[in-house]
Every structure is written in structure tokens, then in C-alpha cells.
Amino acid sequence: MNHIDVDLVRRSLATAGEEADEKETARRKARFEASIAALEADPEERARIDSIAASVGLEPAESSDDADNAQAAHQTAWKRTLHRLRRVRRLPHQPPTANQAHFDLDADLAEIIGDYASPAPRPTRPPRRRPRTSQPRRPARARRMTKPETTRPVGHWEPALAPREAAMLEIPRREYESAVLFARMAIEEHKQLGTARDQWEPTRILNHHLADPFITDGEQELASRLEKEADLVLDRAQDLIEDVKGYLDEIATDARPISTPESGSNYSVAAAVERVGEHDVTIERDEAYGKHHHRRASTLLQRLATWAPWLEAVGFLTFVTYYLNVPLLEPWRDWLGWSFAMVVVVGIILGQTCLARQAAKSHNHAREDHVDGHRHEAGQGFRKRNWYLAETAVTAVTVTGGMIWRGTATLANASIGVTALIIFAATVTGLLLPTLAYLGIALDGSKISRERDSLAANLDDDLDDYLEIISDSRRSLAGVAEIGDTLRNKTFPDICHAAQETVDDVYGFYSTVRLLIGGLAADPPPKTSKSVERGGARDISGYIGTSIPGAGTVNLDPLFDRQRRLDEIEAQRASLLNRIVALPTHPWGKSHRAWPHDDAKISAAQTAVN
Amino acid sequence: MSPDEEQARREVDKFFDDHQGELLGFLLKMGLSLSDAEDVLNDSFLVILRCWRRIRDSNPRAYLYEVARNRVRTLMGARGRKAEDPMGDPTAAGNANLAVIAIDFAQQVVDRQTMRWALQKLTQREREAVLLRYYGGYSLAEAARIMGVTTGTVKGYAARGLEKLYRALGGGDSATGRKEGTR
């Protein structure tokens, strides 16, 4: 028989049947009382019961009428015993005196015990041992049933399972020993209380003690998993909250100024927007009056103006390499020539670029002054431009001519096509590129339009940053909400379930205790399935414990602490979400990166002016 | 009625309340009908009442089971038949199992009847050994005293009884074939 079967049989046998019916119990009790009355009144019934008792070796107790006879028989038995003892010990026979009304058993017994304690007189011959077969022998069963229990206390209890049987049931030795202790304590207590045998369940206080280690394990499981799984997530949620707070505080303080290199001024966002609006009005008004000096150069021209000096430098260096035989990539071959070439090229590029830019700026300012009616300043500007232009032209023509001459000299026998290509390349490098650089700056709108476009670009960047911050904040708050949902719907229930499973291990030990007690009428308590639940929308309710009476429950304070912390984070999240919703819209509603941007708007402005 | 008799009467009343349920279960599982079981139960407690002053200080519960066991044997011997088959159709229990932890009341009834039917597949001694050990919760020594045999014999009866129970309930051959308590 394997170990499972014994346990199942035990539990199967413990299933209560008709004997558990309380009404029938009362009926049987009434019948028993009626039978007692009949027993007292009916000698035949008494004889029948006595015969049943005799069949199991029991002598019916003496009734009140038979008490004297029983006492007499008792004394007779003692007399016989004393007689035998005296004969064995060879004590002088002392017949009772005439005044001795009855046989004093206690005195005689004390006398004999005293005789046995004192040295006995040496016998004349050793007493002959009776052969074993001559001793009166009663049936073993009768001897066992009637023998007084001298080795065991009254009501002795032994575990229903011996250690070897428990081992067959795969009950660990230590668990068995511990369960025996609990079972013994329960039984002792029930014996004192006089509880019915089939109700010797472990008491509540014992249940509390036997379940306590499992409850402690459950608490440790709960606390450790909360530290490992919940705290990290809560910290991350708190970090996200702090990040969003920083973002929103940054938006609220508006600490970043809007600056423009044209005027060198710093504006707040609102002031910059207002400034752009003023410039727009000015530009549109001038356009309406036919003043087109605010129009910016094309983007291509602006970029060419920016990159022309670098392209020019590349062209010069190429010329120096191929036509002057200067090893630019191998300077160690001719340090002197290499240094000279680099100085000349860099000097030419820097000087020519500087002259061209000064000429262009002078032209741009003079043109604006001219349009605004500042003739004197315009005249000065144009003269300054001419002076710079002359210097630039001389430099450009000289460099270009030198390159053509040197190129043709180097390629003396070159064809006309090659010569034309050399002339074209030198012209582009020496003349066209400086010219483009000049035009890109000279025709690039006015100071107002450049400042306006610069402010608009910065405001665009600020708007982008603003929208990105709000988007990041909303994303972070969504992450916090997701963390909260995960904690409530998955992490916390999982942890509680694990703690419940840890606590539920007590049922095995509890069953072992009940098994060792044995003969219990009630079924073992079913495993509790109730654990921590979400009572309301957010509140946690329930317990982690067992259905064992008197057993404690797991302290859920660590869980409630995390729940409170999560609630606080949720409250902060809601507050930040409200702050985001309540944020004022950015004053820079849409991008106006470059002007002109709307011909219809210009037309409308012209119409208004007219 | 003398004070001693009143005292004994009160003690036997309490003893009856404490043990009548389990004894009735024992008798029913021994195969008696409910009416027979109640008769034997009544007689057993009357014997205990008659002998109370002799046995009150030893182990009256063991005497109670001993009397009941003898009465069952006498009753069945007089009727010359085996115990009743409470299931009626033994083949219906072929697929029964020992899952008596069911909460459903009807299932509990079926489980109980199945177990009673299976117990009738055991011999008288085996049934006594199994019930005394695993229903009455007696130790081997106590069961041996009640049955009037040695503890080793009780072990043998109980092991064989469990094995028969297992087979009767559809469990097939035992996994180990070892007797209970044997090495």
C-alpha cells in the first residue's frame, strides 16, 4: 500500500455519516436513557447485559444490593493472598482475635510489605519453583484487558502514526516530531476539558502557534518581493514625476531669452513675438509703399555667400598644387614652398573675403538708408562700398590674372580648349565666387527683416521645445499611470498570491497534526482562497491568512505602505496633468520663419494702406 | 440511588455523548444496518454503564469498542451471513475513488457509501483492524488489546485491509506491496 492510500483511507473513513445527525443523536440518547430505566427494572435485561459484559471478560459492577457481597469477596481474596504470602515467607500464622471484628486489610498489607522490606529468615530449603505449565493461565486477551495499566498513565495517547509510518507517508522526521508535540498538547488540553474524542481538534491557541512560522514566512515573502519588485518601479515612477515637475517649472519660469545677432538684444518670448509682429507691420507697410528692400536674398544665394570663400580656397589650393607644383599633401618635400603657398592662399582668401563682406554690408546699409530717406548716411555708405569694392576688384583681378598667366605658362602647348578651361576655372574661382559672396550679403533684405526672421527662427525653436516638453511630460505621466496599473493589477496581486501560497503550506503541517491525533469527526478546514482584493476603485482589502481557527494573518502594512506611496504618486500625476492642461498656449502660434510668406496677406495690407 | 451511582450515571451520560457518534460510525462501517448498529450501540453503552466503576480508571473507550466488536461478531454469526452490501451494485463502485474531500453533500454520501461497500470486501478481522486504526484512531497497541491479538497481527490485518480497500476502490495493485509498518 503506498503512502497516499493510507492518507486517503484515513480521510475517507473520517467522513461523517448518519452519526452526525443531531436529531438522531438526541433520539439515541433518549433510547439509551429508557434502556437504563428498563435495565434497573428488568432483571432479565440486566442478566442479558451482564452476559454481554461477561463475553468480553468484564464482570458487571456490583449493584447496591451486591455491594456487600462484593466487599466480602474482595476481603476473601485478600485473605487468600495474605495466607499465600505468609506461607511463602514462613511467617507465623496469627489467627484473628475474637475482638477483631473484621479482617484489617491495610494493617496486614503494611505488615507484609514491612516483612518483605526486612531481611527474610533464611529458608531451610530453597522454595521449589513451580513449573511454568502449572501456573494458571488466562487468555492473553483477558490478561491484557484486566491488567492494570502500570506502564502507561490513565488515558494514554499515542500518535496515530508511528515514525516509520510517517516516513512512509513522506512526512519529514522533524515535521513529525513537531506535529506530535502539537497533537499531544491538544490532547492534553482536551482531556482536561473533557471534550469528546472525535472533537479533539487542535485548539485555537495551538493553531496560532503552529501557523506562526508560516505566517512569518509569508510576511517575509511579502516584504522581500515588495522591496525587489514594487519599490524599484515606484522609484522610477517618482523619478518621472520629478522630471515632469522640472519641465513644467522650466516652462513656467520662461528663463530662456530669445536673442538675435542682428541687434544683439535679448527678448522674452512674449516680447519677441511682439517684436516680430511690429516688424511684420513695418515690412508690410513698406511693401505696400513699394519699398522692397526688406526682401531677403534667396536661400541658394545666401548659402553660396556663406560657402564661397571656402570654395575659393579649394580652387586656389588646387591651382597651387597643379600649376605651381607645390606639394600640399607632402609638405616635408618643400617646406619653404609649402609655407609660402599656404600663407599666400590664406591671406588672399581672408583679405578678399573681408573686403567683399565689408563692401556688401556697406551697400546693404546704404540701400536701407536711401530708402528711408537718409541721404547723407546713404551717400557715405555707398562711398564706403565703392572703396571696398575697388580693393576687392583689384585683388580679384590680380589673383585671377595671375592664375591664368601661370596656368597658360605651365601648359604652354595646351590646346585652345584646355586654355579656355583654365581661364574659365580661374575666372570662377577668382571673380565669380567673390561676386556671389558680395551679392548674398548686399541684397539680403534689411536690418528689420533679418532681425524679424532671426526672432521667428528662435521662436520656432522655442515653440518646438515647448511642444516637446509637453509631449514628454504627457508621455512620462502616461508611464506613471501604466506603472500604477501594473502594480495594482499584476505586481501586488502576484506578490499577495505568492505570500498566500507560502502561508498555505501550513495546511500540510496542520493536516499532519490532525492525522496524528486521529479519529476526528470534522473535516479539515478547506483552504482559503480569499486573498487581498481591490475593494473599491483603488483600495486594497482582504487578508492573507488561513481558514484554520485561531491562526494569525500576514501583516499587510508593507503592502499598504506601497499602496499609500502609489496613491501619493497618482495624486501628483493628476496634479501635474492638471498643470499641463492649464498651461497657457505658446504665444508663438505658428511658424513665420521667412518673409515674405503670404502674398495674399501682403495684398491685403496694400489694400488697407491704399 | 446512591451518590456513587449518580456520579457514575453522570459520567456514563457524558461518555455516551462523547463517543456515541464515533461508535455508530464504526458499527455502520462494520457493515451493520442503521437499526442493528443502534441496537449494538445501546447494548454496548449499557454494558459500560454496568461495568463503569471497574473500568472508569482504565480505558473505557477501548472496552466500549471491544464490547461493540463482540456484539457485531455475535450478531453476524447468529444471522449466518455477511454484512449487508450498502451499495447494492458492487460494479457501480468500480470507478469510485477516495476523494471524500468533496464539499458537495451528495458526493459525500456517495463517497461514504462507496467506502462502506469497499469495507465489506475485507474480512472481519481486517475490517476491525482498519477501522480501529484509521477510524478509531487507536494505536497499534490499543487496537491489539481490543482485538485480543498482537501488534504485529494488527499490522498485518491493517495492511491487508488497506490493500483490499485500495483494490476494491479501483486503485489496482498497490505500488509497493509492502505491509503497513514492515521494513
Average pLDDT over residues A337-346: 84
Distance separating alpha carbons of residues A219 and A230, to the nearest angstrom: 15
Distance separating alpha carbons of residues A11 and B134, to the nearest angstrom: 9
- Which residue in the set A1, A52, A165 is minimally distant from B67, CB to CB? A52
CATH for the stretch B87-119+121-178: 1.10.10.10
Q: Would you say residue A119 has pLDDT above 70?
A: no
Q: Residue A518: its chain B contacts at CB < 8 A? A: 134, 136-138
Average pLDDT over residues A251-267: 77
Question: Which pLDDT score is estimated for A156?
Answer: 61
Distance separating alpha carbons of residues A225 and A389, to the nearest angstrom: 80
**What residues contact residue A472 under an 8 Å CB cut-off, 6+ apart?**
A243, A244, A247
What's the number of CA atoms in the CB half-sphere (13 Å) around residue A153? 5
Rounded to the nearest angstrom, the minimum Cα separation between B54 and chain A is 7
The model's pLDDT over A120-168, given as tens digits with 9 standing for 90+, comes to 344 344 444 444 443 344 444 433 443 333 444 445 678 888 888 888 8
On whether any CB of chain A is under 8 Å from the CB of B121, the answer is: no
Chain-centroid distance of CA B83 in Å reads 13
On whether any CB of chain B is under 8 Å from the CB of A37, the answer is: no
- Which residue in the set B5, B14, B181 is minimally distant from A164, CB to CB? B181
On whether any CB of chain A is under 8 Å from the CB of B60, the answer is: no
| Phi and psi torsions of A537, nearest 5° | -70, -35
DSSP state of A70: H
∠ CA A568-A572-A573, rounded to 5°: 115
- Of residues B116 and A235, more confidently modeled: A235
On whether any CB of chain B is under 8 Å from the CB of A65, the answer is: no
Q: Residue B140: its chain A contacts at CB < 8 A? A: 162
Fill in the amino acid letter for A38.
A
pLDDT band at A481 (very low <50, low <70, confident <90, very high): very high
**Cell matching residue A18:** 448518519
Average pLDDT over residues B146-172: 82
3-state secondary structure of A266: strand
pLDDT band at A574 (very low <50, low <70, confident <90, very high): very high
- Which residue in the set B38, B49, B135 is minimally distant from A519, CB to CB? B135
Q: Would you say residue B86 has pLDDT above 60?
A: no
Angle between helices A269-288 and A447-486 (to 10 degrees): 140
**Cell matching residue A180:** 506530535
Per the CB < 8 A criterion, the answer to whether B67 and B44 are in contact is yes
The model's pLDDT over A407-432, given as tens digits with 9 standing for 90+, comes to 777 777 778 888 888 788 888 887 88
Q: Would you say residue A8 has pLDDT above 80?
A: no
Chain-centroid distance of CA B47 in Å reads 18
3-state secondary structure of A540: strand
Fill in the amino acid letter for A87.
R
Answering whether pTM is above 0.80, one says no
Return the C-alpha torsion angle A160, A164, A167, A169, nearest 10.
Answer: -50
- Which residue in the set A50, A139, A521 is minimally distant from B21, CB to CB? A521
Rounded to the nearest angstrom, the minimum Cα separation between B137 and chain A is 4
Average pLDDT over residues A175-198: 85
Q: Do you know the residue count of chain B?
A: 183
Q: Would you say residue B93 has pLDDT above 70?
A: no
- Percent of chain B at pLDDT above 90? 1
What A263-269 contacts at long range (C-beta under 8 Å, 24+ apart), as own/partner pairs, is: A263/A447, A263/A451, A267/A455, A269/A459, A269/A462, A269/A586, A269/A587, A269/A588
Is residue A121 packed enough to be buried (19+ CB in 10 Å), middle (13-18) or exposed (0-12)? exposed
* Every domain of chain B and the residues it spans: 1-84, 87-119+121-178
Put simply, the answer to whether B17 touches A517 (Cβ < 8 Å) is no
Q: Would you say residue A117 has pLDDT above 50?
A: no
Distance separating alpha carbons of residues A403 and A313, to the nearest angstrom: 13
Question: Which pLDDT score is estimated for A121?
Answer: 40
Rounded to the nearest angstrom, the minimum Cα separation between A534 and chain B is 28
Average pLDDT over residues B67-87: 68
Distance separating alpha carbons of residues B67 and A51, to the nearest angstrom: 11
Q: Which residue of B has its CA nearest to A197?
A: B18
Q: Which of A1, A198, A516 to mutate to test the interface with B (most CBs of B within 10 A)?
A: A1
pLDDT band at A603 (very low <50, low <70, confident <90, very high): low
Per the CB < 8 A criterion, the answer to whether B28 and B137 are in contact is no
Put simply, the answer to whether A5 touches B108 (Cβ < 8 Å) is no
| Phi and psi torsions of A258, nearest 5° | -100, 115
Distance separating alpha carbons of residues A193 and A184, to the nearest angstrom: 14
Q: Would you say residue B102 has pLDDT above 50?
A: no
Q: Which residue has the cell 499609500?
A: A564
pLDDT band at A505 (very low <50, low <70, confident <90, very high): confident
Dihedral sign of CA atoms B96, B99, B103, B109 in order: positive
Question: Which pLDDT score is estimated for A150?
Answer: 40
Q: Average pLDDT over chain A, rounded to whole?
A: 76
**What residues contact residue B133 under an 8 Å CB cut-off, 6+ apart?**
A160, B140, B143, B154, B158
Q: How many C-beta atoms lie closer than 10 Å to residue A242's C-beta?
A: 12
Distance separating alpha carbons of residues A386 and A390, to the nearest angstrom: 6
Q: Would you say residue A63 has pLDDT above 80?
A: no
pLDDT band at A107 (very low <50, low <70, confident <90, very high): low
Put simply, the answer to whether B50 touches A50 (Cβ < 8 Å) is yes
**Cell matching residue B170:** 479501483
Average pLDDT over residues B52-81: 80
Q: Which of A34-48, A159-173, A247-261, A477-491 has the lowest mean pLDDT?
A: A247-261
pLDDT band at A76 (very low <50, low <70, confident <90, very high): low
**What residues contact residue A223 under an 8 Å CB cut-off, 6+ apart?**
A558
Q: Would you say residue A78 has pLDDT above 70?
A: no
Residue A534 — left, alpha, or beta (φ > 0 → left; ψ -120 to 50 → alpha)?
A: beta
Distance separating alpha carbons of residues A578 and A585, to the nearest angstrom: 14
Average pLDDT over residues A346-356: 87
Name the nearest CA neighbour of A562 among A245, A229, A239, A244.
A229
- Which residue in the set B21, B140, B148 is minimally distant from A20, CB to CB? B21
DSSP per-residue string spanning A341-368: HHHHHHHHHHHHHHHHHHHHHHHHHHHH
Which residues numbered 306-345 in A keep a CB inside 8 Å of some CB on B?
Answer: none
**What residues contact residue A113 under an 8 Å CB cut-off, 6+ apart?**
none
Q: Do you know the residue count of chain A?
A: 610
Distance separating alpha carbons of residues A388 and A351, to the nearest angstrom: 11
Q: How many C-beta atoms lie closer than 10 Å to residue B175's C-beta?
A: 13
A317-331 burial, b at 16+ Cβ within 10 Å, e below that, comes to: bebbeebbebeeeee
- Which residue in the set A6, A11, A139 is minimally distant from B162, CB to CB? A6
Chain-centroid distance of CA A210 in Å reads 31
Average pLDDT over residues B108-116: 73
Q: How many C-beta atoms lie closer than 10 Å to residue A83's C-beta?
A: 12
Q: Residue B115: its chain A contacts at CB < 8 A? A: 12-13, 15
**What residues contact residue A165 under an 8 Å CB cut-off, 6+ apart?**
A6, B180, B181
- Of residues A109 and A6, more confidently modeled: A6
Is residue A563 packed enough to be buried (19+ CB in 10 Å), middle (13-18) or exposed (0-12)? buried
Is the domain spanning B1-84 CATH 1.10.1660.10? The answer is no
Put simply, the answer to whether A1 touches B142 (Cβ < 8 Å) is no
Question: Which pLDDT score is estimated for B74?
Answer: 81
Fill in the amino acid letter for A232.
L
Return the C-alpha torsion angle A462, A466, A471, A472, nearest 10.
Answer: 90
